[in-house]
A = this chain, B = another copy of it.
């Protein structure tokens, strides 16, 4: 007995191969649209942008990081990270201090306010996306997981 087959008829590997350009195109547009939607879905009472939240999340995990490490992690140039950290510092979410051994460095650490924000935000910000995923079946969820890891790898290559 066939369970629900997501969308496609079973295709052979050969046919699939010739579809690569099409998959590339489809993936590209869906990624673009998805990120636009995600950017819009932030909670209104939260003034932190997606980028800022990602930084704050990194600091939530590792209490203190250099600005350079943050930039590398987010795959962003140092000036972009400087701006984000400025913004976060003004809001009281993080604090800066000069590096101890190397005073050129800037050590960024998260404040209690930042920590609280991350916890609250993890709940509310991903809530919308999680809600969209809740109706998916196990196969679809697995596909998303696989695709996400491939995208991560491609984006980082």
Residues of A within 8 A of B (CB): 6-8, 11-13, 16-17, 19-21, 23-38, 50, 54, 75, 122, 126, 129-130, 132-134, 136-152, 154-157
A93 to chain B minimum Cβ distance, whole angstroms, is 18
Known: A33-B151, A145-B7, A148-B30. A20 touches B140 (CB 8 A): no
Which residues from chain B contact A150 at a C-beta distance below 8 Å? 136, 140, 143-144
With both chains docked as a complex, state the minimum distance between the C-beta of A3 and any C-beta of chain B, in angstroms. 10
CA distance A129 to B7 in the complex (A): 23
- Which of these, B36, B130, B147, contacts A75 with CB under 8 Å? B36
A30 touches B155 (CB 8 A): yes
Q: Is the CB of B147 within 8 A of A144?
A: yes
